[in-house]
Amino acid sequence: MKRISERQLDLLQAGRNDFEFQVRPSNRARRMSVSVTAHGIVEVVVPQRTRPKRVAEFVGKHRGWIDAALAEFAVSGVRPEREMPDTIELPATGERFDVVYDAPRTRVANGKLRIAARREDRERCRAEFRKWLQKKARAVLEPWLVSLSERTGLRYQRLQIRAQRTRWGSYSSRGTLSLNLCLLFVSPPLVEQVLLHELCHTRHMNHSKSFWRLVARHAPDFREHERALNEGWRTVPYWLGLH
């Protein structure tokens, strides 16, 4: 596969002329990421051999967050930072936690989320947040998924919780259903839509008409929810480092 050429980048960026948008191929990048520079420019860092079509899809999926970040920049003149939060809200469960740093170990105690890292050590904090969110997501999503599986008769072999940048979930031919821990940051109807979507892949490993008919049978409002999920990334905190 050839590297992205300058001409391909020009064509890719020309298709999205409502905001400044630059693509920076990197030999060190293992995956795509998006950020807003100090000058209010959207920058997408991509591995060298990334196809332009995949870059366009990535930007489209993160359009909600991009719009929110640019709106914040327009108001404050400051790019969204990755500062560690004072509170964390989980729309999927309706929970809100005050955050305490520099704790002996990461856990919830007395209604507060205690993080075993100094607030200034953002890399360590992110790792601790992700580790806690991964456990929390399994505790929340696994019984939910089991209930939907029993209700629909759609069976899977194994559940995996991951921190993903571009997907809410996926299903493998080996029967592994993967869910993104970021689902904790969207509303319950959208969480359920992702769970049902992936369960339907246990019957159809594609997005054929048969697949969407099965989705519609179990989730009549799927079109509205699928559209909302495209904007759902704006509710995923920037400090988590998954944008």
- Amino acid 10: pLDDT: 47
- Residues 12 and 243: their CA atoms lie apart, in Å, by 20
pLDDT at residue 200 tops 60: yes
More confident residue, 33 or 7: 33
pLDDT at residue 197 tops 90: yes
The residue extents of the domains of the chain are 6-76, 123-240
CATH number of 123-240: 3.30.2010.10
- Residues 222 and 235: their CA atoms lie apart, in Å, by 20
Nearest to residue 166, comparing CAs of 84, 54, 76?
54
pTM of the model: 0.71
SS3 state at 123: helix
Beta bridge partners of 226: none
- Residue carrying structure tokens 């999926």: 61
Average pLDDT of span 92-116: 97
Beta bridge partners of 225: none
pLDDT at residue 15 tops 50: no
Q: Which strand (E) or helix (H) includes residue 200?
A: helix 188-200
